[in-house]
Amino acid sequence: MPVSLEQLNSASSDDFVAALATVFEHSPWVAAAVAPGRPFVSLASLYSAMSAAVRSASSAKRLELINCHPDLAGKAARASVLTIESKYEQGSAGLDRLSDTEYDLFQRLNGAYRQKFGIPFIICVRRHTKDSILRQFELRLKHTAEAEHETAINEILRISGLRLDQHVVAPDRLPVSGQLTTHVLNNHDGCPAEGMALTLFELGGDGTRRVITEAVTNHEGRTETPLISARPLPIGRYELRFEVGRYYADHGTPTADPPFLQSVPIEFSVAEPERHYHVPLLVTPWSFATYRGS
Of the candidate residues 41, 191, 216, 230, the single one contacting its own copies (CB under 8 A) = 191
Residues 129-148 that bind its own copies (CB under 8 A): 132
Name the amino acid, one letter, at 277. Y
Catalytic site residue from 26, 69, 188, 276: 69
CB of 220 to its own copies, least distance (A): 7
Please choose, from the candidates 179, 178, 149, the residue with its C-alpha nearest in 3D space to the C-alpha of residue 162: 178
Q: Does residue number 9 form part of the binding site for its own copies (CB under 8 A)?
A: no
Q: Which is nearer to its own copies, 33 or 270 (CB)?
A: 270
Q: Which is nearer to its own copies, 204 or 259 (CB)?
A: 259
Point out which span in 7-15, 32-40, 152-160, 262-270 binds its own copies (CB under 8 A): 262-270
Size of the site for its own copies (CB under 8 A): 41
Interaction pattern, residues 228-247, with its own copies; x per rule: CB under 8 A: -------xxx----------
C-alpha R_g of the chain = 23
Please choose, from the candidates 220, 213, 215, 225, the residue with its C-alpha nearest in 3D space to the C-alpha of residue 186: 220
* CA distance linking residue 150 with residue 54, whole number of Å: 12
Interaction pattern, residues 157-186, with its own copies; x per rule: CB under 8 A: ----------------------------x-
Q: Looking only at Cα atoms, what is the longest distance across the chain? A: 72
Q: Does residue number 224 form part of the binding site for its own copies (CB under 8 A)?
A: no
* CA distance linking residue 173 with residue 40, whole number of Å: 14
CB of 173 to its own copies, least distance (A): 19
Q: Does residue number 5 form part of the binding site for its own copies (CB under 8 A)?
A: no
Helices 145-167 and 59-67: crossing angle, nearest 10°? 70
Burial status of residue 18 (CB atoms within 10 A of its CB: 0-12, 13-18, 19 or more): middle
* CA distance linking residue 207 with residue 210, whole number of Å: 10
Is 10 in contact with 19 (CB distance < 8 Å)? no
Q: Which is nearer to its own copies, 118 or 293 (CB)?
A: 293
The helix (H) or strand (E) run that includes residue 117 is helix 100-117
Is 129 in contact with 202 (CB distance < 8 Å)? yes
Q: Which is nearer to its own copies, 7 or 262 (CB)?
A: 262
Told to judge if 219 belongs to the known catalytic residues of this protein, a careful annotator would answer no
Q: Does residue number 190 form part of the binding site for its own copies (CB under 8 A)?
A: yes
Residues 36-95 that bind its own copies (CB under 8 A): none
Please choose, from the candidates 178, 173, 133, the residue with its C-alpha nearest in 3D space to the C-alpha of residue 270: 178
Contacts of residue 139, defined as CB under 8 A and 6 or more positions apart, other chains included, come to none
Of the candidate residues 9, 225, 259, 273, the single one contacting its own copies (CB under 8 A) = 259
Q: Does residue number 264 form part of the binding site for its own copies (CB under 8 A)?
A: yes
Q: Which is nearer to its own copies, 39 or 286 (CB)?
A: 286
Judged by the rule CB under 8 A, the positions of this chain that interact with its own copies are 132, 185, 187-192, 220-221, 235-237, 255-265, 267-269, 271-272, 282, 284-294
Provide the annotated active-site residues. Answer: 69
